[in-house]
Amino acid sequence: MKWLRFLAFGLVGMLAVGSVAFLVAAWVYRDIPAEELEARYTTPASRFLNVDGVRIHYRDEGSGQPLVLIHANFGSLLSWDSWVDALKDQHRILRFDLTGHGLTGPDPSGDYSLERAVRLTERFVDALGLTRFAIGGTSLGGTVAMHYAAAHPERVERLILLSPGALEGRSQQKAGRSVPPIANILKYITPRALAAYMLKSRFGDPTKVDDKLIDQWYEMWLREGQRAAILARLRTYSSADLETVTAAVRVPTLILWGEKNPQAPVGQAEELRKMLVNARGGQIITYPGVGHMAADEAGPVIARDVRAFLDTGN
């Protein structure tokens, strides 16, 4: 009878482990309904605008010369909080969540290409009636901003590139690196530790990553449909014909870069400046000890330099 007891214990044990695994899986799989996130993250400055079938979330703050800001991959418009605080007294700042990010959510067209991101940016600023403005972005957002400035020199007064991901994207493309199929599991199981890891690896000083920021990223990722959208964007990302795009940029450009940036090493700043052959200025400012998510890590310091760039008449 000993073996029967052993079998019973084994079955109960397996059942218990299975139940716990199921509960954990159910918990990590959970999507957060859009309404719940909107209630948590919208402010009086939040707006929603239907553009080309996409319900874009944006914030419109401050008054003065307009500045459009585009955030990084995996992030949201919240990355610009410190810039808004520093600049809104003299600038109208319009920042929006890209599709598959923040409160904008997935693109019903399923198109997450760079071309689509640029097109949506065009429609967005058209819908807001902006005719002349400065535009800036970081990482993926920097690449989008650069493409926009190249295509619309008549509307862009100044361009601000905070460690844009274009060059890194291109080298990944050349190396044939892509997202492996196994990554699909992230659509169902997304531990909070992944958000913490990604943020810490993108900060020059990981101790500056706080729980609030990790929760912000993590909860935005869990918005319904978001995880599939993030993976789809990673799979379709292309930096396009960078030489042609950079040569078409003719506006005064400020290049900002964290020196402790493994994702897009600081040497790319000079490489990019050389490619921006027709941009006026092409000035570079670097920040020691700052990583890739520089807007989150050193926003107030960098905003001072942005302000100087926007306010001087050269």
309: contact with another protein by CB under 8 A: yes
Cα–Cα distance, 272 to 163 (Å, whole number): 10
289: contact with another protein by CB under 8 A: yes
Specify which residues 120 forms β-bridges with: none
36: contact with another protein by CB under 8 A: no
> Which of 233, 209, 219 is closest to 103 using CA atoms?
219
Q: Contact at 8 Å (CB) between 303 and 89? A: no
Q: Which one, 195 or 256, has the nearer CB to another protein?
A: 256
Among 28, 39, 282, 296, interactor with another protein by CB under 8 A: 282
Cα–Cα distance, 268 to 197 (Å, whole number): 24
Cα–Cα distance, 269 to 192 (Å, whole number): 32
312: contact with another protein by CB under 8 A: yes
Q: Contact at 8 Å (CB) between 118 and 144? A: yes
Return the SS3 of 239. Answer: coil
205: contact with another protein by CB under 8 A: no
The least CB distance from residue 80 to another protein, in Å, is: 18
284: contact with another protein by CB under 8 A: yes
Q: Which one, 152 or 187, has the nearer CB to another protein?
A: 152
Region of 81-89, 123-131, 161-169, 300-308 interacting with another protein (CB under 8 A): 300-308
Spatial neighbors of 174 by CB under 8 A, at least 6 apart, are none
The bridge status of strand 54-61 relative to strand 156-164 is: unpaired
The least CB distance from residue 257 to another protein, in Å, is: 10
Region of 20-28, 113-121, 141-149, 270-278 interacting with another protein (CB under 8 A): 270-278
Contact characters 219-248, another protein, x per CB under 8 A: ------------------------------
Kindly state the number of chain residues that form the binding site for another protein, as judged by CB under 8 A: 30
Contact characters 247-266, another protein, x per CB under 8 A: ----xx-x----x-------
Cα–Cα distance, 20 to 31 (Å, whole number): 19
How many Cβ atoms from other residues are within 10 Å of residue 178's Cβ?
Answer: 13
Work out whether the CA dihedral 20, 26, 28, 33 comes out positive or negative: negative
Region of 16-24, 114-122, 237-245, 303-311 interacting with another protein (CB under 8 A): 303-311
Among 49, 53, 288, 291, interactor with another protein by CB under 8 A: 288
91: contact with another protein by CB under 8 A: no
206: contact with another protein by CB under 8 A: no
Site for another protein in 154-183 (CB under 8 A): 157
Kindly give the residue spans of alpha helices, DSSP state H, lying in the chain: 2-29, 34-41, 81-87, 114-127, 140-151, 166-174, 192-201, 211-221, 226-236, 242-247, 267-275, 294-311
Site for another protein in 138-157 (CB under 8 A): 157
